[in-house]
Structure 1
Amino acid sequence: MNGRPRLVLFDLDGTLIDSEIGITGSMTHALRALDVEPPPREVLRSWIGPPLHASFPQVLGADSERVDLAVQHYHERFDAIGWSEHVVYPGIVELLDELHARGDRLAVVTSKVVTQARRIVAHLPFGHRFDAVFGPTPETRSSTKAMLVAEALRTLDGDPSKTAMIGDRRYDIEGARANAVRAVGVLWGFGSTDELRKAGAHAIVTAPGELLAAL
C-alpha cells in the first residue's frame, strides 16, 4: 500500500474481541432447543465468523425452516446474555490508540447482525474510536464480507488503495481482495495460517503489535 491507510476496517469476533463463550454458548442453546446434540467445541469454534445460515445447515441439513428457527433461538440467548460474554484481546487498545493518533479512520465490518455488533462496540472501552459499524441487517441472510466491505468503502468514501481489512478468517481476506483492499490476517482469533494464506492474505500477523508494520 502506498503510504499508510486512511481507512482501516476491523472484523469483530476473533479480531478485536474473543467472543467464543457467548457465541458457542448461544449456538449450543439453539441446537438443544431443537433437540439436536451440538457438535464438539472445535466444530463450534469453526463456525465463528461465517453467517449462521451457513453454519447451522452442517448439522440441520437443508431444512430452511429449522435453520431459521435455530437462528432465532441463537439470537434469543445472544441478545439476552451472549453479547456481553467476551474479552478484549491484549494489545488491541494500544493498537487502536496508535492508529487514531496517526490520523487513520477506523470502522468495524462484521458478519454479526449489525444491531448486535453496534451494541457490543458501543460498550467496548475503545468503541468511540470507530466511525461506523457495518454488518447484515436482521432480515438479511446473504450479506457477504465482500458486500459489507464494499458498503463501508461507499459509505465512508474510502479509497481501496488506501484501505486495509483486518480479520481472522478467510471471509475477511476474501472480502478485502474482492474490493481491491489490502488484506491482513491475524492469528489470535479462530482461523489458521493455512486458511488465511490460501484465501490470499497480503500479510499475516501473530500479535496486535505487528499490525502497524503490516499495514
Structure 2
Amino acid sequence: MSISAILFDLDGTLTDPKLGITRCIQYALSELGYKPPDADELLWCIGPPIQESFSQLLNTSENRLLEEAIALYRLRYSTIGLFENYLYPQIIDILQKIRLAGYQTFVATSKPHIYAKQIIEYFDLSVLFDAVYGSELDGTRTVKSELIKHILITENLAPSTVVMVGDRLHDIIGAKLNHVTAIGVTYGYGTEEELKIHGADLIAHSPEEINKLLVHD
C-alpha cells in the first residue's frame, strides 16, 4: 500500500467513551420521562450519530422530540460527559510511531468537532494530529461517508493513499464508499463479524496491531 494519510475514528478507536455517552443518554431519557436502560444495554449507541440512537431508543422520527433529546444529551455531555472518557492503552505510543514513519494523521468522527477537539486537547493529543474533523451541531457530516469525502477534498488527499481506522460498520462503509482502505479494530464497540461483513480490508485486535499493519521496519 502506498499510504500517506491515516484517518482515525475517535470513540471506540482512540478513546473509550462508555461512561460519558451512556450516562448522558440516561440523563436525557430520564429528563424526558423515560426509564433509561442500563449502561451495558446502551453500548450499541457508541459509534452511530446520536440522532440515530435516540430515534431507535424513543422509537420515533419526530424531529421535535429528537431535538429535545439531543439538547438534553449535550447539556450534560458538553460539561461533564466528554471528560468521562479514557485513552485505550498504547494509543499515544502507536500514534507517535505512525507520525515518525511519516504519515499524516487526522481524527474523523461523527461527533461534533467542537467536542472532538476538546477531547483531543484534554488528552494532549493535538501534536499527534494534523487536524480534527467531525460533524456540525446541526447534523451536517454526521454520516461517515460524507465526513470522509469532506476530509479528502479539504486536505487534497487521493483515496488510494488513505486508510480509515475505526471500530464500527459506519467507519467501514464510509471508507468503502470513498474507495479508501479500511482497518477495523475489534477492541472498541464493533465485532469482527460486523467489520468484515461491511468490507474491512484488515482487522486489528489491539492498537499495536494497527501500528504493525502500517509501519514496517
TM-score interval, normalised by the smaller of the two chains: over 0.9
Aligned to 2:120: 121
Partner of 2:103: 104
Are the aligned partners of 1:122 and 1:128 in contact in 2 as well (CA < 8 Å)? Answer: no
Aligned match of 1:53 in 41, 51, 54?
51
Residue type of the partner of 1:214?
Answer: L
Report 1:124-203 matches (<5 A): 124-140=123-139, 143-203=142-202
Deviation at 1:39, TM superposition (A): 2.4
CA distance in 2, matches of 1:180, 1:173: 10
Are the aligned partners of 2:23 and 2:39 in contact in 1 as well (CA < 8 Å)? no
Q: Within 1, Cα distance between the matches of 2:37 and 2:28?
A: 12
Q: 2:54 touches 2:66 (CA, 8 Å); kept in 1?
A: yes
Give the paired residue count. 213
Deviates more, 1:34-43 or 1:75-84: 34-43
Q: Deviations over 1:163-201 (max 9, x none)?
A: 000000000000011111000000111110111011100
Q: What secondary structure is seen at the aligned counterpart in 2 of 1:24?
A: helix
TM-score (norm 2): 0.94
Distance 1:73 1:141, change over 3 A: farther
CA distance in 2, matches of 1:24, 1:45: 7
* Matched position secondary structure for 2:29: helix
Query: What is the rounded CA distance, in whole Å, between the counterparts of 1:79 and 1:10 in structure 2?
Result: 22
TM-score if structure 1 supplies the norm length?
A: 0.95
* 1:114–1:133 Cα contact (<8 Å) kept: yes
* Matched residue, 1:65: 64
**Distance between the aligned counterparts of 2:123 and 2:154, measured in 1?**
23
Partner of residue 17, structure 1: 15
Question: Paired residue for 1:84?
Answer: 83
Deviation at 1:41, TM superposition (A): 2.8
- Whether the aligned pair in 2 keeps the contact of 1:147 and 1:175 (CA below 8 Å) is yes
- Displacement of 1:139 in angstroms is 1.3
Amino acid of the structure 1 residue aligned with 2:58 = L
Q: Does the 8 A contact of 1:53 with 1:141 survive in 2?
A: no
Identity between Structure 1 and Structure 2 (%):
37
| Residue-by-residue CA offset, 1:135-155 (whole Å, 9 max, x unaligned) | 111112563100000111111
Q: 5+ unaligned residues in a row in structure 1: which ranges? A: none
The match for 2:6 is 8
Does the Cα contact within 8 Å between 2:110 and 2:141 map onto a contact in 1?
A: no
Structure 2's unaligned 5+ residue stretches are none
* Runs of 4+, deviation exceeding 6 Å: none
Separation in 1, partners of 2:28, 2:205: 33
3-state SS, counterpart of residue 133 of structure 1:
strand
Answer with 189-198 or 31-40: which moved more: 31-40
Aligned to 1:38: 36
What is the CA deviation profile of residues 63-104 of structure 1, one whole-angstrom value per residue up to 9, with x for unaligned ones?
Answer: 221111010000000011111111110111111001110110
How far apart, CA to CA, are the structure 2 residues paired with 1:59 and 1:23?
14
Residue identity matched to 2:43: R
> Alpha carbons of 1:212 and 1:142: their partners in 2 closer, same or farther (altered >3 Å)?
closer
| Bigger Cα displacement from structure 2, 141-150 vs 190-199 | 141-150
